[in-house]
Chains A and B, each alone.
Chain A
Amino acid sequence: MDSPQAVNGMESRARWKYLDSILSTKSPYADPDYIPGEDVITFLESSRVLVIGAGGLGCEILKNLALSGFKDIHVIDMDTIDVSNLNRQFLFRQSDVGKSKAEVAAAFVESRVPGVKITPYNGKIQDKDEDYYMQFKLVICGLDSIEARRWINSTLVSMVDMEEPESLKPLIDGGTEGFKGQARVILPTVSSCIECQLSMHAPRAAVPLCTLASIPRQPQHCIEWAHIIAWDEQRKGDVLDTDDPEHITWLYKTALDRAKQFNIPGVTYSMTQGVVKNIIPAIASTNAIIAAACCNEAFKIATSCAPYLENYMLYTGDSDASGLYTYTFAAEKKDDCPVCGNLAQTIRIDPDMTLGEFIASLAERAEAQLKKPSLRTESTSLYYQAPKQLEEQTRPNLEKKMRDLLTDGEEVAVSDQALAIDFRYKLVFER
């Protein structure tokens, strides 16, 4: 695809005329010390940046960075391309289905924008260590998983060495759902981090098991029943694969039968898929807004040509009052943040609840969202998910009441293997 103009690496600057011009004059909003010109452009070109996710946001992010003057871009994604990606992940074609997202996306943007180098990694962020992350100037996330966000957030926070300003890697994070989305800028240890803001992204309340088991009322209840209860009972040994049409069809029919039994209308194949795969609606335009808002922040941070976002922008494109609105605010850093704070978080609990119940509640608490936590106090192990021996040893504690395991106000350390964080909770008794 190389043009005559781009051969021999002697790419002309004419292509970057508009960008160069904007970076060669000074905005009234720029810092008084900012000096526009060639140095800024050189610095921008030499900034190595990491993009996490090559999906709906990631495709846009790669395009945007390449057209913002970044030349050295890395991208990580562990997924392969699915046909349902094609309505928005515009670097992929029908013939790419099944291939690595990171690799296809990188190759596409490299061929479209001469002079930009994009290095793909087809795998998990957890495969990489601090040395790897240390090489980047900044990190941009376009992920749909909260867990992955929390992992990279705590990794970047733990990398900060106050003596080494270069060790602080700004993290820019985007997320979308339907017509809505958010873009946020995080300076690890300096400003509010993803963990500080966790309670703003509360998980949806789960339907109580007894509703699913005995008093379903909604089509979703019947689907969840098929998913959580019937599958395990009736298809023992089969590992559920939500991408397998046979499996989805089975769940759909099972849910439909149950719905019929209770006279509940509304179970559909599409709804079954939506519930069991936890599908979030996604469209190209929202991805475009959020990805570009994130890249705009990356551009401002890398060039200092204008102040960056402090620190959170919420975009709502489906307001029935005003059509759209944005809410831009400074999320606060929390002293008791388990990742970037130094105080234990206080949690009020009923002392008569069992340890098992407490552990279950950690999954739903907006500020914790821990699915497989292990707990210990300063003196004893309360419960460990692994290794097996320790799990067996601590399992009897699950039935015990909290008041018999702890004193009022005692501190508990909680870890979850999915996250690189130790949480500290101060448990205060309350009835």
Chain B
Amino acid sequence: MTATATTPPPIHAPTAKEKKYDRQLRLWAASGQQALEESHVLLVIAGNGDVCSGSSVAGVETLKNLVLPSIGNFTIADSAKVTEADLGINFFLTSQSLGQSRAEECKQLLEELNPDVQGHAITTPLSDLLQDPSHLRPYNLIILCAPLPQEQRRIFCEHAQQYSVSLIHVQSAGFYSSFSIQLPSVFPIVDTHPDPDSIQDLRLLSPWPELLAEAKALDDLDKLEDHDHGHVPYALILLYYLEKWKQNNEGKAPDTFKDKTQFRDMVRAAARTDNAEGGEENFDEAAAAVLKTVAPFSIKSGCREMFEKDSCKVINKDSASFWIIAAAIKSFYETHGVLPLPGSLPDMKAKSADYIKLQNIYKSKARKDVAEVAQSVRSMEKKFSRKDVILDGEIEAFCKNAAHVKVLEGSLLPQLRIENGDVQTRKTMLKELQNTETLLPILLAFENGSRSQLDDMIANNGKIDFEALNNQFAEVERVGGRELHNISSVTGGMVAQEAIKIITRQYVPVDNTCIFDGIGGTTLVLKL
């Protein structure tokens, strides 16, 4: 049945590239690596004021953390010349860089980190770059180092939105930093890397015939020899006792918490204890799994929201392949009341052959479900005469992760919405400002001139801790835009993680704002 599974892969010692990137390939695999290597990141730094370092170090540190894992290309747009003060905070400059173009110098020293990466520098003023928005087309991620002249920031954000390019706005000064992400209006993620403990899906309350037959084949557990009894996989133990439970409870499975604890006791009591160990490991595993696995199938909010989007409900010839598969899975769900089976089976105490047999029951059901979804994908392709055929692998990956798929919806950068006086953003901010220990005032203090707007908004609000708020404003004012290397380096690490998530379309990026406080050692993530 699983011929492919047992054919040994050709022995291939890892290539030089696999060796070099081994520690990260274990996280995002070859597919993530390929996406990184095909990417081109633009870093934008505003021209130099002599007092303020313009978050340039946070930006360059971000690039360092992207060059090392091997993004394909990066470009630094920065018209400033290197000053002595730059040398005290920026590791990617040397004493010889003084007076030279900061973009060129940083580009060169960053390139040294990884011969696989190509760097570029744009040294003309940003206004030149912005004259023709098509100049921004080669980039699939734009990182803005704040502060930037408001007008220029707006142009970058609007172009990014227009071309569905992700953009990150970063600011770092003194002990504080923040970043906000502007994602494209639709940003679907299939491979969200959920916590491995949360992905178990055994379908014990909705077993398909082959699985149920396997439990029935146990016949009478009590008659098994001790050795066999101690090696029945816990999934089958639970199925077996669920049938017994149903017989005594009008055909109903345990439902309430009380039912489930009773059911757990029933399973536990069935373990044989007259042995050297005083119990059976497989029954311990079964009892421990009751609360988590004996539950009716339910879909998570991320998936439900996806189904409710118009793009999922209405498919046409221009629909992205993501939405075609999503629609196929939606129709699968509507037909069967469950999502396609992911097909993985956690390890459990069992004899090898029994476990492998059970594993294959799960796998073949998963393949069957994928085939059904694929069929409806193909019929949609045909119906709309789509030219590009959706790959089987894409359908399979989607089915496997269906329960954890997420669709994020990006909107204009929050800082611009604040500038615009957007009502919803204001509301969200007001609510957040009432939380004790909020870090939101830091972001507002970073936004020049927002204090008066803020004071109007919060005047006489008894729920706001004004002392905390004033301290945060005072601290931002005290450091006057000067970066501390450590804080910019923390920030460069955080932003690089987010950039990797966005570029690889794996893991879930921050939606949409994060503020870091290096005094308290805390962060705030919020959707503004």
> Are B53 and A285 in contact, CB atoms less than 8 angstroms apart?
no
Binary interface encoding of chain B residues 178-199 relative to chain A, with 1 for a CB under 8 A from any of its CBs, else 0: 0000000000000011110000
> Are B519 and A285 in contact, CB atoms less than 8 angstroms apart?
no
B20 part of interface (Cβ distance < 8 Å)? yes
B174 part of interface (Cβ distance < 8 Å)? yes
Binary interface encoding of chain B residues 44-84 relative to chain A, with 1 for a CB under 8 A from any of its CBs, else 0: 00000000010000000100110011100000000000001
For B20, what are the chain A residues with a Cβ–Cβ distance below 8 Å?
83-84, 86-87
Chain B residue at smallest Cβ distance from A11: B95
Chain B's nearest CB lies how many Å from the CB of A379? 32
Chain A's nearest CB lies how many Å from the CB of B155? 27
> Are B519 and A27 in contact, CB atoms less than 8 angstroms apart?
yes
Bound CA–CA A1/B95 (angstroms): 7
- Residue among B85, B114, B509 with max Cβ neighbours from chain A (10 Å): B85
Bound CA–CA A324/B91 (angstroms): 27
Selected from B12, B356, B510, the residue in CB contact (under 8 A) with A217 is B356
A313 part of interface (Cβ distance < 8 Å)? yes
Chain B residue at smallest Cβ distance from A66: B91
Binary interface encoding of chain A residues 271-295 relative to chain B, with 1 for a CB under 8 A from any of its CBs, else 0: 0011000011111111111111101
For B492, what are the chain A residues with a Cβ–Cβ distance below 8 Å?
285, 288
For B521, what are the chain A residues with a Cβ–Cβ distance below 8 Å?
183, 293, 297, 309, 313, 326, 328
A19 part of interface (Cβ distance < 8 Å)? yes
Binary interface encoding of chain A residues 352-364 relative to chain B, with 1 for a CB under 8 A from any of its CBs, else 0: 0000000000000
> Are A22 and B482 in contact, CB atoms less than 8 angstroms apart?
yes
For A113, what are the chain B residues with a Cβ–Cβ distance below 8 Å?
91
Q: Identify the stretch in B124-132, B267-275, B494-502 within 8 Å (CB) of chain A at 4 or more residues.
A: B494-502
Bound CA–CA A325/B526 (angstroms): 10
A18 part of interface (Cβ distance < 8 Å)? yes
Bound CA–CA A290/B9 (angstroms): 38
> Are B355 and A282 in contact, CB atoms less than 8 angstroms apart?
no
Binary interface encoding of chain A residues 110-143 relative to chain B, with 1 for a CB under 8 A from any of its CBs, else 0: 0011100000000000000000000000000000
> Are A217 and B96 in contact, CB atoms less than 8 angstroms apart?
no
For A162, what are the chain B residues with a Cβ–Cβ distance below 8 Å?
none
> Are A320 and B507 in contact, CB atoms less than 8 angstroms apart?
yes
> Are A264 and B84 in contact, CB atoms less than 8 angstroms apart?
no
> Are B84 and A15 in contact, CB atoms less than 8 angstroms apart?
yes
Bound CA–CA A284/B489 (angstroms): 11
Question: Which chain B residues (493-528) contact chain A, with CB distance < 8 Å?
Answer: 493-494, 496-498, 500-501, 507-511, 514, 518-523, 525
A252 part of interface (Cβ distance < 8 Å)? yes
A389 part of interface (Cβ distance < 8 Å)? no
A-B contact count (CB 8 A): 273
Q: Identify the stretch in A149-157, A229-237, A255-263, A419-427 within 8 Å (CB) of chain B at 4 or more residues.
A: A255-263
> Are B95 and A2 in contact, CB atoms less than 8 angstroms apart?
yes
Binary interface encoding of chain A residues 218-235 relative to chain B, with 1 for a CB under 8 A from any of its CBs, else 0: 100000000000000000
A245 part of interface (Cβ distance < 8 Å)? yes
> Are A262 and B23 in contact, CB atoms less than 8 angstroms apart?
no
> Are A260 and B6 in contact, CB atoms less than 8 angstroms apart?
yes
Chain A's nearest CB lies how many Å from the CB of B387? 34
Chain A residue at smallest Cβ distance from B57: A67
Selected from A27, A60, A322, the residue in CB contact (under 8 A) with B525 is A322
Chain B's nearest CB lies how many Å from the CB of A135? 24
For B149, what are the chain A residues with a Cβ–Cβ distance below 8 Å?
none
Chain B residue at smallest Cβ distance from A56: B23
Binary interface encoding of chain B residues 217-238 relative to chain A, with 1 for a CB under 8 A from any of its CBs, else 0: 0000000000000010000000
> Are B5 and A179 in contact, CB atoms less than 8 angstroms apart?
no
Binary interface encoding of chain B residues 104-116 relative to chain A, with 1 for a CB under 8 A from any of its CBs, else 0: 0000000011110
B216 part of interface (Cβ distance < 8 Å)? no
B265 part of interface (Cβ distance < 8 Å)? no
Bound CA–CA A83/B194 (angstroms): 30
- Residue among B87, B114, B482 with max Cβ neighbours from chain A (10 Å): B87
Binary interface encoding of chain A residues 284-316 relative to chain B, with 1 for a CB under 8 A from any of its CBs, else 0: 111111111101110110000011010001000
> Are A295 and B65 in contact, CB atoms less than 8 angstroms apart?
no
Chain B residue at smallest Cβ distance from A3: B95
For A12, what are the chain B residues with a Cβ–Cβ distance below 8 Å?
84
> Are B68 and A265 in contact, CB atoms less than 8 angstroms apart?
no
Question: Which chain B residues (155-208) contact chain A, with CB distance < 8 Å?
Answer: 174-175, 192-195
Chain B's nearest CB lies how many Å from the CB of A360? 15
Selected from B13, B65, B89, B352, the residue in CB contact (under 8 A) with A215 is B352
Chain B's nearest CB lies how many Å from the CB of A93? 8
Bound CA–CA A291/B491 (angstroms): 12
> Are B94 and A3 in contact, CB atoms less than 8 angstroms apart?
yes
For B424, what are the chain A residues with a Cβ–Cβ distance below 8 Å?
none
> Are B478 and A283 in contact, CB atoms less than 8 angstroms apart?
no
Known: A217-B352, A281-B27. 8 other contacts (CB 8 A): A21-B482, A27-B519, A217-B355, A269-B12, A285-B492, A291-B489, A326-B523, A328-B521
Could you list 14 A-B pairs, sorted by A, with CB under 8 Å? A28-B471, A63-B91, A94-B115, A215-B352, A217-B355, A217-B356, A217-B359, A264-B352, A265-B5, A268-B9, A284-B496, A309-B521, A324-B510, A328-B521
Binding site for B on A (CB under 8 A): 1-6, 12, 14-19, 21-22, 25-29, 60, 63-64, 67-68, 83-84, 86-88, 90, 93-94, 112-114, 178-179, 183, 211, 215-218, 245, 249, 252-253, 256, 260, 262-266, 268-270, 273-274, 279-293, 295-297, 299-300, 306-307, 309, 313, 317-326, 328
Binding site for A on B (CB under 8 A): 2, 5-6, 8-9, 11-14, 16, 18-27, 53, 61, 64-65, 68-70, 84-85, 87-89, 91, 94-96, 98, 112-115, 174-175, 192-195, 231, 347-353, 355-356, 359, 404, 406, 471, 474-475, 478-480, 482-487, 489-490, 492-494, 496-498, 500-501, 507-511, 514, 518-523, 525
- List 10 A-B pairs, minimum CB-CB distance, nearest first: A3-B95, A288-B493, A289-B493, A265-B5, A323-B510, A292-B489, A285-B496, A14-B84, A67-B485, A18-B482
